[in-house]
Amino acid sequence: MLEILVENPGRINFGEINGQRMGLSKSPCVNGMKIESKWNIISLPFSEEEILQLDYSWNESSLPVALPAFFSASLEIPGKPADTFIEMEGWGKGVIFVNGRNLGRYWVSAGPQKTLYLPGCWLKSGQNKIVWFEEEQIGSKLFFRNEPDLGERDCGDDVLVSTGPSTTYAKIYYGIK
């Protein structure tokens, strides 16, 4: 059986959207041979209801897990929830859900951003369920930070800076360190 995961990275949300086809548009080929048999397209369970009902009966001793896979953690908040930032240390690329709501995508392996903003109003006092769908690599930890880490981006841009009679080249870095 051949299984193919096709990610929908999104589309523009303005203007004409014709011609923005995503996914498999014709039968795939394996070793130069076209797959002619019947095949199905299914959606992964990304609705709030489905995310909250997933079974997470694995534990650390059952690793390694074949990717892509869903993972789950709990966040206990003793008092009033506040805004925070989730850092996915060692993880690769995926989507995070908080209490069933889609927080957004992360792509740690591509960078430079290392944290995702999590509004305090999405959290509740007591137990909070954090679920993520990982596509690339299994990390070691999740951190909840008070400050964002947007990484440092070296765009490779050399900028000509004029400082009077002599001229200097300077490297531009975008983002926060």
Structural domain contains residue 37:
no
Assess whether pLDDT exceeds 90 at residue 47.
no
Structural domain contains residue 21:
no
Structural domain contains residue 98:
yes
Question: Is there a contact between 114 and 175 (Cβ–Cβ < 8 Å)?
Answer: no
112 pLDDT tier (thresholds 50, 70, 90) = confident
Domain hosting 137: range is: 64-150
Structural domain contains residue 100:
yes
Assess whether pLDDT exceeds 90 at residue 80.
yes
Structural domain contains residue 130:
yes
Structural domain contains residue 47:
no
Assess whether pLDDT exceeds 50 at residue 168.
no
Predicted pLDDT at 5: 73
Structural domain contains residue 137:
yes
83 pLDDT tier (thresholds 50, 70, 90) = very high
Structural domain contains residue 75:
yes
Average pLDDT over residues 32-50: 76
CATH number of the CATH domain containing 68: 2.60.120.260
9 pLDDT tier (thresholds 50, 70, 90) = low
Structural domains counted in the chain:
1
